[in-house]
Amino acid sequence: MNLNEWLNEEIPNVVLSLEQINKQNLFNDRTIGFAGKESIYKILHHFRSALFPGVHDKYPIEESKVNIYIGNNLCASALELRELIERVIVNNYESISEADTSNANYKDRADEIVKNLINSFPQIRKTIQTDIEAAYFGDPAAVTPEEILLSYPSIEAVSIYRIAHELYKTGLPIIPRIMSEYAHQLTGIDIHPGAKIGDNFFIDHGTGVVIGETCTIGSNVKIYQGVTLGAKSFTLDGIGNPVKGIKRHPDIEDNVVIYAGATVLGGNTVIGHNSIIGGNVWLTESVPPNSKVYNVQPSPIIKNSGT
């Protein structure tokens, strides 16, 4: 039997087996749709285009048509997002705590979530502007704010985080998680949408940064590449699985600088305001305000090839 014959005979069996496995282990009637991720990427693209017209678009936008273009994209994306949110709510992707789930009006709830998100856009835009300014004033290599907006991975990741965080606050985890993981793919910066981050936030270089779900970061904080703000350990339940929904990640107060490769772990760890954490420091305990934390300088051995 040649390959063509084998494919015609066996592919239907393989497809059927995959369908059965997916029904048992993946979908279980809980899905945002086969094109869910791509839909969210498209929605996110239009939202970011509304915040920064022309920056995320393939073609220039005529100045006289900018508002119409933004309005049309926002309307279409809001309606598409509403449908995804409704599907998520109906299929219990979110935790509904107080609501009377037996009589919940899912359409109204999805409508309200989208309305609140769209209404938050002016404030999101203002906050991202402070992030751009933090990068401009915090990086001596930055020539113009436009350069930062167009080329800095920090702004790419943080702007997506700012949108995703607004959705995450509604108790709707899956869509903002897809948004933040998209930013992670694009930039190498991993910011959980549940983290709380103040204004004037700058990640210099960015690659390899990890900011955990329950982390809080104050205003005017600057961190460098390879920084991890993570969990020290996981509390386990009776069968050995990590307990969810508890504080696991550190708090970083205002005006803190954390240099490259530093690791700060633990839900009880607090980095006091106006502190500096040096490169490659490993911290699992709190430090008071105005601290400087650094490792002992290593003593490199330098050999001249002529001796």
Tell me: the pLDDT tens digits for 154-193? 999 999 999 999 999 998 889 999 999 999 999 999 999 9
Tell me: the pLDDT tens digits for 280-306? 999 999 999 999 999 988 888 988 876
Residue-level pLDDT at 103: 41
* pLDDT less than 50: residues of the chain: 29, 93-103
Determine contact, residues 83/33, Cβ cutoff 8 Å.
no
Domains of the chain in start order, with CATH, are 33-95+104-189 (1.10.3130.10), 195-297 (2.160.10.10)
d(CA 259, CA 138): 13
Residue-level pLDDT at 93: 44
What type of residue sits at position 38?
Answer: E
